[in-house]
Structure 1
Amino acid sequence: MTPRFHPRVRALALVTAAALALGGCQLDGVEPEWTVPRGSAAPSASTPAAPPAEPGASQPVSDPVYRDYGNPSVDVLHYDLDLAWQPTRKRLDGVATLKIRVAEPVTALKLDFSDAYDIGSVTVNGAPTPGKVTKGDLTVDATARAGEVVLLKVEYSGVPKPVRMPSERGDFAEGLGLRAEPDGSAWTMQEPYGAFTWYPVNDHPSDEALYDIDVTVPKGWSGIANGQLTNTTENGDTTTFTWHSRDPVASYLTTLAVGRYTKVTDTGPRGLPITYWLRTGRDEGMRPVFERTPEIIEWLEKRYGPYPFASAGIVSVTSTSAMETQQMITMGGDLVEELTGSEVEKREYLAEVIAHELAHQWFGNAVTPRDWRSVWLNEGMAMYIEGEWLIADGFADRRSWVAWLRQQDEESRPVAGPPGKWDKEHFAENNIYVGPALMLYAFRRQIGATAVDKLLRDWVQTQRNQPVDRETFTAFVQQRHPDLVPVMNEWLDSPTTPDGP
């Protein structure tokens, strides 16, 4: 998620940046080659036993911060979502088929789901089964043993309703989850929760799953989701867009956007397919900035290893924020309206946002926190990388950037808490971004820039598709640079900003 800072264009040492307009073409997807095979994470003191060898398998846990979301007794392996959006009625019709591994014996399947929808047919393994939604939970009668795999199918329809974000961030004042715009378009952002506002889900980062999503919209409209677009089918006066994710996805990293879009294709390193979805008639000026994506990915790959997924993309929506949704960044197309400064500065800031969200494809998406207490593992690393990209791009100097981070930390830490023990009513505020980024600069002062890049590269490559938390990271650092552990603890736990870097 993009950090929310004011003013949006920073008072740093700025230089003129040349606007790049890269030619686009569409090529077949390329499977990334990782130096460490998937699932080969180095063991740590806190790493649990490996989950069953089943695609999409996870080990869900109860969240220590937001206990009302997620259910550790179920492990969703796969979501098959067949969605249809009616713009004139602002209505979503859905059929969700979930392949669920039962993690512990149950007499009912309980998932997060909005009471804004009317429930139609519900079946378990093909048999009609009672199901009801109460206070944001879908409960379906089903008795199953631990380890048993069941197939749950739910039909539903209704008008989506966002929910409050537990934060003081102004860019989420209208809430989290799927929402409809006056023109009938719709979009979603949902961290730490909110996927349940458009499909039944175990809405917690510890339960990653595979996804297949069909989005049917009126002809002339587009339905964009996370993953890779594999098919577009015309059906008379409607079009169905088919999306596939072959890597596990946490629910907060899914996305849905419906509207009138112009699709632009591009190519990244090693033939990586990239798509940009621009709101037709509104976002043409953003295209040159979006088309810096291959350049930014190449810069990231040199430091942290190959881009971890089969495709990349950006979809613009009616928001003033941005979200690192997996393989398809959800970009607030209205963000630029809040910016001050020259056109060059505005473009550079948008590129900075893209760099931040692309960094998350490694740090947060390929490696996802086990629970929300560990969200700093996502944001601190992305914030550090964002700064290093700005400096490499010639738009900031490191001394000014670090000084600005310290100023932000000194202001946010007393209000929202230290990044390792943040206040649950201040989710994703400045403290979890800037404090851990400064921690990495403190690491840098002690072991050097090259060693920090190697540490981060090793982290993402050895932990890919594994649940991680502070204990995992501590054990990882302890094995490589034990002298850094006290530095890490001070930056994560101190109620005031530590000295240096």
Structure 2
Amino acid sequence: MAPEAARPPLRMMAAALVLIAAVAGCSAGDPPRVVPTGSAGSSGPPVSAPATPDVPPDPYAAGLSRPVADKLYPGYGNASLDVLHYGLDLAWAPGSRTLTGTATITLRAVTAVPRISLDFSRAYALDQVSVDGARVGAKRSGHKLVLARALPAGARATLVVGYHGSPRPESMPGWSGWTGNGMGLRAMGNGEAWSIQQPVGAFTWYPVNDHPSDEALYDIAVTVPKGWTGIATGQLVGSEPRGSRTTWRWRATDPAASYATTLVIGRYEKLTAAGPGGVPVTVWLRAGADNGQRQLVKRLPKVLRWLADRFGPYPFPSAGVVVVDSGSAMETQQMITIGSRSSGGESLLLHEVSHEWFGNAVTPRDWAAIWLSEGIATWIQGEWAIDQGGASRRGVVSGWRAEDRAARTTAGPPGRPRAGHFGARNVYASPALMLHEIRSTIGATAFERLLRDWVQTQRNQSVDRETFVRFVNAHTGRDLSALINTWLDAASTPAA
């Protein structure tokens, strides 16, 4: 994102992907890792799953996660529940700025739970609540929606929650330097609506387990007046005119973290292009309002090709950018959000799109691990500046060091960030310096191969420091634990 100022799951890809097992050289204690057949980093012939004619395939297997409790923001998310799939049927009335929704949520209980608890804004009135077809009692406790239904460990359930109301952004649970008007879905005076939500805020437009460790599949339908567009996470699978209204349908067949989902509503024009490997690319601009960003977002295919050449195939079936009335930008999955008033040009676009590999395809397990996505994206920005803009490596590293000295003092080291300073430069420049030191130690070619293999072998996993350290040591054949831990934990900038 760019400012305005026990054992992890083996996540199976949907039926279209055959999964093969993981990175060579990993120790027995390593988490399982999967690589889609044909991805960079795979080896050997495809391995098919054993035939099980009597057991139908699980349509939501790719949504299996092992959620964890968050150390920085423990009030959000629920480590006892794993949401597999969100089916969101949404309707927007621009005149009254009212969102009406029906959320059909398939989940499993990771442990036995006496009740079902999800994050959901109190801005919405509840119209119906049921579990497995039976109505249940529901109550509010702060930003929690609590349903009177116990589940034994391993049990699955389908929740249906009907609701309506006007969205209300929520204050960030930490430093609010990048968007002073809160996080989540906001309604604009002209009837438009859009969401940016990190670390939390998805709960301002649907009931959700609002934590990055619980990734899920999505089907989102957005009904808007004729002439308006509803844009959401995933790939556009169709639009259906019905009288004076149109329903736009989106599908995410790869698991997405809640902070990387999006909902945007407005009067948009659509531009299309082809990305690397023929990936369909769409750019959405508000008619007559976003000319200042038109040339920038049309460079998306160029940015995608540059990244794919270095880090392997683009990890999703479609790519896109949507421009909103904001000064921020956000790595929303398959549909990057760029603010009409954001600055940074191609470097900003490059940063957000690089998160499709590092952040969306490979997701931090909790918010203490955000350096794993922001640090790599910042290092990639430095490479882009050197390759495209003629910057010197010495100059790029010097700039990071200056940022690091200030950031560690105010926000803490990147591996132990302070909750009140979410998204400060300590999780951007500081880990980028760490990556520079690893590159200096193992060499440029080996380092670029390491990053490429990291994203290809960890794809559709949530990861943490321990995962990264094991991977680096196994990949390089060297014990770089001390180097990594020093850069992540030191109170002041380590010596180069």
TM-score, structure 1 normalization: 0.88
Counterpart-to-counterpart distance in 2, 1:280 and 1:453: 40
Provide closer, same or farther for how the CA distance between residues 395 and 237 of structure 1 changes in structure 2, counting only shifts above 3 A. farther
Please tell me whether the aligned partners of residues 22 and 33 of structure 2 are also in contact (alpha carbons under 8 angstroms): no
Of the three residues 307, 312, 315, the one matched with 1:305 is: 312
Counterpart-to-counterpart distance in 2, 1:455 and 1:40: 15
The equivalent of 2:179 in structure 1 is 172
1:425 and 2:420 matched? yes
Counterpart-to-counterpart distance in 1, 2:33 and 2:495: 40
Provide closer, same or farther for how the CA distance between residues 149 and 380 of structure 1 changes in structure 2, counting only shifts above 3 A. same
Counterpart-to-counterpart distance in 2, 1:385 and 1:215: 35
Please tell me whether the aligned partners of residues 106 and 145 of structure 1 are also in contact (alpha carbons under 8 angstroms): yes
Amino acid at match of 1:135: G
Note the C-alpha offset of 1:389. 1.1
Of the three residues 453, 456, 474, the one matched with 1:458 is: 453
The equivalent of 1:314 in structure 2 is 321
Provide closer, same or farther for how the CA distance between residues 296 and 37 of structure 1 changes in structure 2, counting only shifts above 3 A. farther
Note the C-alpha offset of 1:309. 0.2
CA deviation vs aligned residue, 1:458-493 (integer Å, no higher than 9, x gap): 111111112210011111112133343221111111
The equivalent of 2:141 in structure 1 is 134
Note the C-alpha offset of 1:60. 0.8
Moved more, 442-451 or 474-483: 474-483
1:294 and 2:301 matched? yes
1:386 and 2:381 matched? yes
Of the three residues 161, 183, 199, the one matched with 1:154 is: 161
Provide closer, same or farther for how the CA distance between residues 219 and 47 of structure 1 changes in structure 2, counting only shifts above 3 A. farther
Counterpart-to-counterpart distance in 2, 1:143 and 1:71: 14
The equivalent of 2:270 in structure 1 is 263
Note the C-alpha offset of 1:499. 1.6
Provide closer, same or farther for how the CA distance between residues 228 and 68 of structure 1 changes in structure 2, counting only shifts above 3 A. same
Please tell me whether the aligned partners of residues 226 and 256 of structure 1 are also in contact (alpha carbons under 8 angstroms): yes
CA deviation vs aligned residue, 1:326-382 (integer Å, no higher than 9, x gap): 00001111114xxxxxxxxxxxx3211111111100101101111111110010000
Of the three residues 481, 489, 493, the one matched with 1:493 is: 489
Q: What SS does the aligned partner of 2:402 have? A: helix
The equivalent of 1:2 in structure 2 is 2
The equivalent of 1:240 in structure 2 is 247
Counterpart-to-counterpart distance in 2, 1:253 and 1:395: 32
Q: Which runs of 5+ in 1 are unaligned?
A: 6-30, 337-348
Of the three residues 336, 351, 360, the one matched with 1:356 is: 351
Please tell me whether the aligned partners of residues 171 and 319 of structure 1 are also in contact (alpha carbons under 8 angstroms): no
Of the three residues 100, 108, 117, the one matched with 1:110 is: 117
Note the C-alpha offset of 1:39. 6.7
Give runs of aligned pairs for residues 41-80 of structure 1, distance below 5 A. Answer: 47=30, 54-80=61-87
Moved more, 473-482 or 223-232: 473-482
Counterpart-to-counterpart distance in 2, 1:420 and 1:376: 7
The equivalent of 1:484 in structure 2 is 480
The equivalent of 1:99 in structure 2 is 106
Identical pairs, percent: 51
Moved more, 160-169 or 287-296: 160-169
Q: Which runs of 5+ in 2 are unaligned?
A: 6-13, 35-57
Of the three residues 189, 193, 206, the one matched with 1:186 is: 193
Where relative contact order (Cα < 8 A, 6+ residues apart) is larger, the structure is: 1
Provide closer, same or farther for how the CA distance between residues 50 and 149 of structure 1 changes in structure 2, counting only shifts above 3 A. farther
CA deviation vs aligned residue, 1:99-120 (integer Å, no higher than 9, x gap): 0111111221110001111011
Note the C-alpha offset of 1:46. 6.5
Please tell me whether the aligned partners of residues 41 and 464 of structure 1 are also in contact (alpha carbons under 8 angstroms): no
Counterpart-to-counterpart distance in 2, 1:227 and 1:452: 31
1:473 and 2:468 matched? yes
Of the three residues 262, 280, 283, the one matched with 2:290 is: 283
Please tell me whether the aligned partners of residues 118 and 207 of structure 2 are also in contact (alpha carbons under 8 angstroms): yes
Provide closer, same or farther for how the CA distance between residues 385 and 420 of structure 1 changes in structure 2, counting only shifts above 3 A. same
Counterpart-to-counterpart distance in 1, 2:327 and 2:30: 37
Note the C-alpha offset of 1:171. 2.5
Provide closer, same or farther for how the CA distance between residues 471 and 190 of structure 1 changes in structure 2, counting only shifts above 3 A. same
Note the C-alpha offset of 1:4. 5.9
CA deviation vs aligned residue, 1:276-311 (integer Å, no higher than 9, x gap): 111111112322211211111111111111000000
Please tell me whether the aligned partners of residues 226 and 245 of structure 2 are also in contact (alpha carbons under 8 angstroms): yes
RMSD: 2.1
Note the C-alpha offset of 1:403. 1.0
Note the C-alpha offset of 1:450. 1.2
The equivalent of 1:343 in structure 2 is none
Note the C-alpha offset of 1:141. 1.3
Amino acid at match of 1:355: L
Note the C-alpha offset of 1:394. 2.1
Note the C-alpha offset of 1:318. 1.2
Q: What SS does the aligned partner of 2:484 have? A: helix
Note the C-alpha offset of 1:420. 0.3
CA deviation vs aligned residue, 1:256-295 (integer Å, no higher than 9, x gap): 0111111111111111101111111111232221121111
Counterpart-to-counterpart distance in 2, 1:142 and 1:222: 37
Counterpart-to-counterpart distance in 1, 2:23 and 2:244: 48
Amino acid at match of 1:237: S
The equivalent of 2:205 in structure 1 is 198
Provide closer, same or farther for how the CA distance between residues 167 and 105 of structure 1 changes in structure 2, counting only shifts above 3 A. closer
The equivalent of 1:26 in structure 2 is none
Provide closer, same or farther for how the CA distance between residues 41 and 225 of structure 1 changes in structure 2, counting only shifts above 3 A. farther
Counterpart-to-counterpart distance in 1, 2:275 and 2:27: 35
Provide closer, same or farther for how the CA distance between residues 295 and 75 of structure 1 changes in structure 2, counting only shifts above 3 A. same
Amino acid at match of 1:71: N
Note the C-alpha offset of 1:45. 7.1
